[in-house]
Amino acid sequence: MEETLDVLIRRGRLDDEPHIREFTKHTFRFGDYVGDAFAGWLESGCDVWIAEAGGIPVGVVCVDYPAPREAWFQGMRVHPDYRRRGIATMLTETCIKGARERGAHVARAIIDSDNYRSIGLVTSLGFRQVAEIIEFDVYPELLIPYGKKDEPDYQPHYELDCGRYLTSGLAVTRLNPSDAPEAWSLAKNDVRYIGTCYGQWISLSPDTLQRKAAEGYIIVARTESREIVAGALLDDWYEDHDNERGRPELEQEMTSFFGSVRGIRALLHHAAAVLYAEASKRGGIPCRLRPSVEKQSPALEKIRQIAMVENARREASPAKRQGLPVIETGDVMLLWEYPLGKK
């Protein structure tokens, strides 16, 4: 018979960090971000909850508040020796209670589509799936025409300094907050959630779109007459040292696409060009752009169309690299929601 486990759920402290790092270092074969993120969670005012057994931290979770009245649950981890003992349930119930006390009306979390244990947990607690997020991988060094200048297929279709995509007559710029209502008129038809920093997703509204524009995260494609034809959220780039490739890689997330195929393609090319330039400055390290889109969004089929075109162009080029597509489908993530109170 398994002995009864006496578990205390409490607030996280900085001196918990060594324990968190130790039991999360093998979460994935290439590591885990939780140990590195832990101190930042505490410093930023997130609710960080610890499950303690025998005076030792054996579980952790973080609750952030990325938008008014919205809570985001992330980084749930339980020590391998203490799993299937109800600790994840206790931590999640504490998150729900704490988010309610903070005035949140809804809580969300995102889970890998093949993480059946976590899916079973949130389902049992009353979460409902509200979206399926399809991730893509874009390799800027292979994207025509933004590869290396000495390659035979290189063509100067893009002017990085002024953000112009020459073959389409579109310019890519940051969205001025005063132009957010125009962007909203397009985005409201294609997007329900804005994917923000660190993989968090918040409800799309005129206010949240304007706020992200003010923070500099929304880019748009414009015609020569200044009409907005597409937009997306472009996150900060980050250097990933814990990945399946086993070497440093410069990565950048891109989410919440809306607008025309031509405009979305210009946005992808712009982001790839800027990312490739930054990776070159860092000694030419590998880089990867990571677009994500809701499965039910019209933008999904548009990105798939763009992927077919770009991959076909690369395959037909003199400098093609067999087995390395320019754009390929990556992971599938499930977005879950728990109602906490009035909306």
Predicted local distance difference test score (pLDDT) of residue 157 = 47
User: Which among 212, 229, 227, 319 has a CA at the least distance from the CA of 267?
Assistant: 229
Q: pTM of the predicted model, to two decimals?
A: 0.87
Predicted local distance difference test score (pLDDT) of residue 246 = 63
Torsion of CA 140, 138, 163, 207, to 10 degrees: -150
Domains of the chain, residue spans:
7-104, 134-335
Do 7-104 and 134-335 share a fold? yes
Distance of alpha carbon 137 from the chain centroid: 12
The DSSP element (H or E) to which 202 belongs, if any, is: strand 201-203
The DSSP element (H or E) to which 78 belongs, if any, is: strand 70-78
- The whole-angstrom separation of Cα 22 and Cα 115 is 22
Predicted local distance difference test score (pLDDT) of residue 146 = 45
- The whole-angstrom separation of Cα 129 and Cα 141 is 36
Predicted local distance difference test score (pLDDT) of residue 332 = 94
Distance of alpha carbon 320 from the chain centroid: 29
Q: What is the pLDDT of residues 214-237, one digit of tens each?
A: 999 999 999 989 999 999 999 998
- The whole-angstrom separation of Cα 68 and Cα 57 is 31
Query: Residue 223 is encoded by which pair of tokens?
Result: 């015609």
pLDDT-flagged residues of the chain (< 70): 1-4, 29-30, 144-168, 198, 241-246, 316-324, 342-343
- The whole-angstrom separation of Cα 158 and Cα 48 is 45
The DSSP element (H or E) to which 334 belongs, if any, is: strand 327-339
- The whole-angstrom separation of Cα 47 and Cα 72 is 10
Specify the amino acid at residue 232. A
Query: Residue 110 is encoded by which pair of tokens?
Result: 């995102």
Dihedral class, residue 226 (left if φ above 0, else alpha if ψ from -120 to 50, else beta): left
> With the C-alpha atoms ordered 211, 215, 219, 223, is the resulting torsion angle positive or negative?
positive
Is the CB of residue 12 less than 8 Å from the CB of residue 38? yes
Predicted local distance difference test score (pLDDT) of residue 154 = 43
Predicted local distance difference test score (pLDDT) of residue 320 = 52
Q: State the pairing for strand pair 228-240/218-222.
A: antiparallel
- The whole-angstrom separation of Cα 37 and Cα 68 is 23
* Residue range 7-104 in CATH 1.10.287.3510: no
- The whole-angstrom separation of Cα 66 and Cα 43 is 15
Q: What is the pLDDT of residues 274-319, one digit of tens each?
A: 898 899 899 989 999 999 999 999 999 999 999 988 888 777 665 5
Looking at domain 134-335, which CATH architecture does it have? 3-Layer(aba) Sandwich (3.40)
Predicted local distance difference test score (pLDDT) of residue 243 = 56
Predicted local distance difference test score (pLDDT) of residue 33 = 85
